[in-house]
Chain A
Amino acid sequence: MRKNRRAKYFFIFPAIIWVLAFTIFPLIYSLGLSFFRVRLGRPAQFVGLNNFARIFSDYKLGNSLRVTLLYVAITVSIQLILGILIALLFNQEIRGKNIFRALLILPIFCTPVAVGYLGLTIFYEEGGPINSILMSLFNLKIPWLSSRIWAWVAVFLLDIWQWTPFCFLVILAGLQSLPEEIYDAAYVDSSSEWEIFRKITFPMIQPVIMIVLLLRLIESFKIFDVVYSLTGGGPGTATEVYSLYTYRTGMKFFDLGYASALGYLLLAIVIVIINFLFRQIREVYE
């Protein structure tokens, strides 16, 4: 028995080291940095809460926050809705279901940076594949990357294309775990598919949807790769998301103290949203 107790410490030890080295230490170190004016190559200077105060006068930050919130709200909503719809479809008996399912989840395995560069080719305005098709069919040329709004649409489309399969896959697993008996009983009382979905299926898979929502929210707040490679934050600053702005502040301009403060602001925002969601999940379970 005592041996077993020791064994569990042995197995948990690497995880503790990992968390300490790669989560706790950077967290504390960056908190320390956020109280200093740090410029590599020069002595750090203690500035108290100045970096946090600077956040309130930084007009560029407002733009990147707005852009990020908009991005999170739109892409995550669409991914969830599409994920549910496709999962419901695949929960039926369809010929070749396995093949389609395998094809559908392929985008998850792509590297986001590669997806961004792929987007550059697909959305190329002068003779790119999408515009070529649109030109031949409708004589229409969309300014995918040169218009502020269309650049957003391009980023949205790539992200939705890549992450909807994730939502679909998890929700499908949730759907397939629902007991058949409940549906048998439900069909005795009602023949409306919509009513059955609204009153039985949706409430029962709600916890799964909340988990998917949670995971996608956390990931979406950190969006960087696709934007970096597809638009570089442009045109202008139209797609300059929060992570890109923080990256530039810290890694391009070496303003590490302020970049750390920016990191903590994002952490605070995400914690508030996640806490709110956890409460909702708890209520659903209860």
Chain B
Amino acid sequence: MKKVSILGVLVVVSLFVASFAFADITVTNASGESITFTDEEIGTIVTSGEKPFEGVTVTVTVNEGGPKGGISGPLYEWRDTWEQLTGAKLNIVEIPYAEHYPKVMTDLYTGTGQFDAFMIGSDWMGELIAGEYIIPVDDYIKDPRFPKWDPDALPPSIRTLYTWGDKWYGVLNDCDGQVLYYRKDILNNPDYRVQFKEKHGYEYNIPPKTWDELYDISEFFNGWDWNDDGEADSGIVMHLKVGAQGMYHYVSLSAPFCILPGEKVDKYHNVYWFDPEDMTPLINDEGHIKALDFQLKLAKTGPDAQVAWSLGEAWDYFLRGKAIFCFSWGDLGSLAQDEARSKVKGKIGCSILPGCYEVYDRSQGQFVKFDDPVVWGNTTGGSWHGVISVLSKNPEATYHLLAFHATNKISLWNAQRGWTGVDPGVKFHFLPPYGTASLDDYVANGFHPEDAKEYLDAYYENFFATNIVPYLRIPGGNEYWVALDRHLSEAYTGALSAQEALDRVARDWEDITNRYGREEQLKVYQESIGYQPE
């Protein structure tokens, strides 16, 4: 009897201890929503309850946006929770977009070290790696002390942006790429389809397969009231203001005009920016000139004011139901679900950007024809994510913060809410059969079911496309982008022709390359695009 009772006590005590040892941890964010983590997911630093980061302050820079702004918002949303779990303090330093890069680089160049981590745009990576300003996180990823996130969930296209060579430097956050948003309800209107066929002699595809087809549709719908709101509407809307990310439109659009697809990266295949043998800019070759001429023509089927519009104004125009097309980032798809500012919820379709039948082949010096449109997926944009400064005095606490945000559950929470600026791109953001997310969850967070399917499938198709536009990741990357931006803007405003504008870009790029050192730049460029000299 005594043995039995001792055994019973032991069992009860064991169960009691085990219930604590393997208790799930539930955290609640600033919006009052809760997420429960298993021990494995949250890591032993939290489950031990020791709070080793007590008294540590982690300082992170991020684009200015406020507590409900893109990319900055999630840091505020989860700050209190993370501080309670770890004992550390989080200091969020918001910096306007245009000033963020110079501020960060000044901190690193001068060795000040006032920031532990930066939420960087991926185009900064070349400079950060070349100067050895950030640390790899591979060892931390394997370490069970930290929150667990899954690098294998990232598509190769996005993984490239977070890594350099075979090392991980970035911790999962945002996945940027531009897809085509279109008004499915209007394009499916049978009267409009008939009128279009009468005018152009063919029926359009929904979504359009090529840029030429998209132009025809955009031109057809431009300048008249197709949504019965009493005002003339537009075919397309773009954000083309100088200094406000307008050049990204050009890069996404121009890829199928000027990148010849091939099995590997060589002098003539899969390159966009520079000749990988000598760093000669390719930006003013025939393919690019044709692409910019096309974009200038396409811009005429949108509002004139878009030349001075940044993201917000262009998105707002589309959300107010004033344009058939907009090609932009994932933010637009989720913002379209917010009925307080969107009239297009449940009316949008999404797809990978259209392609071209003719692509410029530099080896032949002419355009070559393909049987099917050549389509390129893209990772255009910042894919804003955290990296750890080499000057950080608290790299472990800093990584813990970044990894906490990268856990599947928080990442999914962020991706399902438009205001966070965290756009979907990893497997667990997508719906079956591509991923593990649930349509019900998206719907519960305000998505229209059809919109959610379209949106997520388009992004899956984009990030997992066979061809992905190469990303510029070399020292001075920001300066190359700015040169492209300013001269494109000169073309958009009619001050220069496409040829003149791109010649100026090429000239500036040569200057920048020479200043940074051609040989050094070439080496980093080759590494960044995976070019193997023969």
Contact = CB atoms under 8 A, between A and B. Distances in A.
Contacts of A144: 308
B102 interface: yes
Nearest to A258: B515
Given A40-B109, A41-B109, A234-B308, A126 B303 contact: yes
A248 B476 CA distance: 13
Interface string B98-129: 10011001101110000000000000000000
A252 B303 CA distance: 31
B409 interface: no
A180 B493 CA distance: 56
Interface stretch (A79-87, A165-173, A235-243, A267-275): A235-243
A127 to B, nearest CB: 10
Nearest to B109: A40
A224 B108 CA distance: 27
A59 B505 CA distance: 12
Contacts, number: 95
Contacts of B102: 251-252, 254
B432 interface: no
Interface stretch (B3-11, B218-226, B241-249): B241-249
B110 A235 contact: no
B452 to A, nearest CB: 29
Interface string A228-266: 000111111110100000001001111100000000000
B110 to A, nearest CB: 7
A194 B489 CA distance: 49
B317 interface: yes
Given A126-B317, A235-B492, A236-B490, A151 B308 contact: yes
A236 B110 contact: no
Contacts of A253: 476, 478-479, 482
A176 interface: no
B308 A146 contact: yes
A242 to B, nearest CB: 15
A248 B482 CA distance: 10
B151 interface: no
Interface string B469-507: 000000010110010001101111111100000001000
Nearest to B512: A253
Contacts of B244: 232
- The contact size tier of chain A is 20 to 34
B308 A145 contact: yes
B109 A147 contact: no
B304 A146 contact: yes
A59 B476 CA distance: 20
Contacts of B478: 252-253
Contacts of A101: none
Interface in B80-114: 98, 101-102, 105-106, 108-110
A236 B242 contact: yes
Given A145-B305, A146-B307, A252-B102, A234 B109 contact: no
Interface string A121-134: 00001100000000
Chain A CB within 10 A, most for which of B105, B486, B491 = B486
Contact of A143 (B108, B242, B304): B304
Contacts of B496: 236
A235 B308 contact: yes
A222 interface: no
B131 interface: yes
Interface in A106-153: 125-126, 143-148, 151
B225 to A, nearest CB: 16
Nearest to A41: B109
A254 B486 contact: no
Contact of A146 (B108, B305, B482): B305
A183 B420 CA distance: 70
Contacts of B105: 40-41, 254
A226 B476 CA distance: 27
A237 B489 contact: yes
Contacts of A236: 242, 486-487, 489-493, 495-496
A143 B305 CA distance: 6
Contacts of A255: 515
B108 A125 contact: no
Interface of B: 98, 101-102, 105-106, 108-110, 131, 241-244, 303-309, 313, 317, 476, 478-479, 482, 486-487, 489-496, 504, 508, 515
3 A-B pairs with least C-beta separation: A40-B109, A234-B242, A236-B490
